[in-house]
Amino acid sequence: MKTELSIIIVVKNSKDDLRKTLHSIRANNTELLRASAEIVIIDGLSSDGSWELSTRAEQITGVRTQCYQQPPQGIYPAMNLGQYKSSGNWLIYINAGDIFHDCTNLSNILQQSRSSAIQFKSAIKRPSSRHAYTKSKQWDRCHQALVYRKGNHEILGRYNESLKICSDSLFIKNLEESRIEYADQILSITQVSPNNASRNPRLVREDLESLARFKIDHQPWRKPRLTLTVLRIEAALGSSTSVWALCHIGRLFSKYQKIDVSD
């Protein structure tokens, strides 16, 4: 059977988080099989059992799986390898720890779409939380909620490996807006914690320097200095306080909704 959708997961020493992701795939097994999905796992030479779990992913999920290892080189070399090894017409990148939430009718959505990308609604949650938050009337551009045609890489190239954490947002920015379809459905939920690479102040600073040095027209952080200050404080506290404060305040003004999830 021809693969329609490739689910690409990058993991390094995140066995427990990977297990959550695989279990969410199993919970959505019926819809993902209708979408002729495959899983492609790229492991960065994990030493905590993540690789051994990866090799059992097909047994756990019931979805055909390819597993590869490569020496740790960063997020985007691993994502590029996943894209190269994938065989689907459509791609989605899910981090270890992120979970699929609602794959209802996904097969029909992909088959009927004439767009180059489909942006689903996104949601975020704390690790082990039974609740998640989603924006009421907006779609955030994040790769966990974006399904796009693999052919986009023939036009836009690979993910820029000179960047540490914002190459995916640069890639999404360069997608042709007129060819992006928006789906009012929460396909997946992103796990947010201070351990996320995207919330690492050192990596944010290095990417800001790279964007300036290579003269790349991209502004992933609206207020870079404030972002760095907040992330440094949160790293010291070990909590993504600003994210959850924004969600709670947003609920007061009906800008965010709280939804129940199973972890």
Give the tens place of pLDDT for each residue, 221-244. 989 999 999 999 999 999 999 999
Superfamily of chain region 5-192: Spore Coat Polysaccharide Biosynthesis Protein SpsA; Chain A (3.90.550.10)
Give the tens place of pLDDT for each residue, 136-177. 877 888 899 999 999 999 999 999 999 999 999 999 999 988
Distances (CA, A) of 91 to 5, 71, 135, 213, 254: 6, 23, 24, 30, 32
pLDDT at 262 over 80: no
How much is the pTM? Answer: 0.95
The answer to whether the beta carbons of residues 193 and 128 sit under 8 Å apart is no
User: Pairing state of beta strands 99-100 and 180-191?
Assistant: antiparallel
The answer to whether the beta carbons of residues 186 and 101 sit under 8 Å apart is yes
**Residues in the chain, how many?**
263
pLDDT at 187 over 70: yes
Residue ranges of domains in the chain? 5-192
pLDDT for the residue 1: 65
In 10 A of CB 116, how many CB atoms?
16
